[in-house]
Structure 1
Amino acid sequence: MVESIHPFYEAHRGAMEAAMRHRLDLAEAMLRERAHLSDIDGIRQEVMDEFEIVLTQMPYVGGAASRMSDFFMRLIGFMAISRVLRRRGVPLPVIGEIERETYKAQLLTVPEAERLAAGRQFMSPENQALLREQAALSAASSHQDAFPEDFVYDFVEPGPGDNFEFGIDYKACGFCKFAARHGDKDILPNICGLDFDAYATRGIRLERTQTLAGGASHCNFRFSRLR
């Protein structure tokens, strides 16, 4: 039986595949020079084939009503890249370096003004209010029953002496659940490493000292504006 792609992700499939092809274009030189791979066309096809599998495995967490759907759609493709490079014998640290630099290069193709505007929106009081609401929703038993593969998190207010504007403590991670289900736990830290550039390119400083993937009780994201 052929597994199907959820209709929500099917509707975004074209854009997700285009982003994957763009990443592979950006990664080509690094695949040759750092991973010492020469069959680039073969790797491209293998990654896109693996991405088709990943699309059928993506958990539905509420679609447009959940902010985490966007995280899955933007980052889950790196699971496909990691799987293929792992099969090709590329060391995990090298895979992580290639993916992080590729993702940063892709993010920087967006005009700076647009990126910084997105960062200001993320840090805005309005978005913080939305994050509080979504955090409360994520912890509700009804939501967890409906979407067991979703993230669960708390909104964190700064205390006296803190030097961040707000934080998020992820108590359960959708990527961790995905990796555990599909045998990808060894490549999971590479996905975690993408977060820093994702925020920095939008003018946001992310501080994080622990992750669920690293065995901690939660991921402690702390956000402030880059000067």
Structure 2
Amino acid sequence: MTENIHPFYEAHRGAMEAAMRHRLDLAEPRLRECTRLPDTDQIKREVMEEFAIVLAQTPYVGGSASRMSDFFIRLIGFIAISRVLRRHGVPVPLIGEIERDAYKAQLLTESETERLAAGRHFLSPENQAFLREQAEMSHREEFPDDFVYDFIEPGPGDSFEFGINYKACGFCKFAARYGDKEILPNICGLDFDAYATRGIRLERTQTLADGAEHCNFRFFHLASK
């Protein structure tokens, strides 16, 4: 029996399920090519069933008042994909490749104009001010399963626009609670394409998932080709 889904995620459930189905459709060629699984339709059904479980497990971290809620909405479904494929014996690194390819393809269905506009907004002074406020709020630790992070200003000689150091990660806490630590790096790998498709280069040399003290995100304008 699945636990109840938090009302915040229930309100977004239809859109989240639609995004999951789209993602699985985009992943299907790689599933057939790389996994040799006999019935990808069955795999899709299993993933959607697992997604219902994952959705009920997803922690509430402040809803629309917290930017991190959107991270859970967009990415938590990859936990369901990873769980199902791992049960079918697909190696974790290959699962990561399949997920990253599907996610990038999904991101690219949005027009380049919209994606680059979103990237400019992310790097804008207005959004940086918002991120500073959100970072300060995160240290209140109102929600125990939330992220905790610092906004990093560039210093003399730095070429990045700004940075974020994540001191605590909601996905790491989720993975530790539900036994998903092995597949957690696959979630981390999605970040690079998420920013690159919006015209932003992400540099990151360490993550909490790999045992570091913090994740060091640094954001740059992506050079035009």
Structure 1 length normalisation: TM-score? 0.97
Task: Name the SS for the 1:213 alignment partner.
Answer: helix
**Alignment match of 2:178 (pick from 158, 177, 182):** 182
1:37 CA drift (Å): 1.3
1:77-226 equivalences in 2 (<5 Å) = 77-140=77-140, 144=141, 146-226=142-222
In 2, distance between residues paired with 1:31 and 1:226? 31
Specify the code of the residue in structure 2 equivalent to 1:8: F
In 1, distance between residues paired with 2:24 and 2:137? 36
Residue pair 2:149, 2:165 contacting (<8 A) in 1 also: yes
In 1, distance between residues paired with 2:176 and 2:166? 17
Task: Name the SS for the 2:8 alignment partner.
Answer: helix
Specify the code of the residue in structure 2 equivalent to 1:130: F
Specify the code of the residue in structure 2 equivalent to 1:68: M
1:2 CA drift (Å): 4.2
Task: Name the SS for the 2:118 alignment partner.
Answer: helix
In 2, distance between residues paired with 1:95 and 1:66? 29
Task: Name the SS for the 1:134 alignment partner.
Answer: helix
In 1, distance between residues paired with 2:189 and 2:163? 18
Task: Name the SS for the 2:201 alignment partner.
Answer: strand
Specify the code of the residue in structure 2 equivalent to 1:95: I
1:64 CA drift (Å): 0.1
In 1, distance between residues paired with 2:39 and 2:7? 34
Specify the code of the residue in structure 1 equivalent to 2:33: E
1:33-112 equivalences in 2 (<5 Å) = 33-112=33-112
Structure 1 runs (4+) deviating above 4 angstroms are: none
Q: Give deviations 1:6-31, integer Å, cap 9, x for gaps.
A: 00000000000000000110000100
In 1, distance between residues paired with 2:150 and 2:34? 39
In 1, distance between residues paired with 2:160 and 2:94? 32
In 2, distance between residues paired with 1:11 and 1:104? 25
In 1, distance between residues paired with 2:86 and 2:66? 31
Specify the code of the residue in structure 2 equivalent to 1:64: S
In 2, distance between residues paired with 1:136 and 1:212? 20
Specify the code of the residue in structure 1 equivalent to 2:205: T
Q: Give deviations 1:105-133, integer Å, cap 9, x for gaps.
A: 00000000000000000000000000000
In 1, distance between residues paired with 2:205 and 2:139? 23
Extract unaligned runs of 5+ from structure 1: none
Q: Give deviations 1:157-212, integer Å, cap 9, x for gaps.
A: 00111110100000000000000000000000000000000000000000000000
Extract unaligned runs of 5+ from structure 2: none
Quote the sequence identity (%).
79
Task: Name the SS for the 1:187 alignment partner.
Answer: helix
1:36 CA drift (Å): 1.4
Specify the code of the residue in structure 1 equivalent to 2:182: D
Residue pair 2:2, 2:53 contacting (<8 A) in 1 also: no
1:38 CA drift (Å): 2.1
Structure 2 length normalisation: TM-score? 0.98
How many residues align structurally?
A: 223
Specify the code of the residue in structure 2 equivalent to 1:66: S
In 2, distance between residues paired with 1:105 and 1:80? 19
In 2, distance between residues paired with 1:161 and 1:98? 38
Q: Give deviations 1:87-119, integer Å, cap 9, x for gaps.
A: 000001100000001100000000000000000
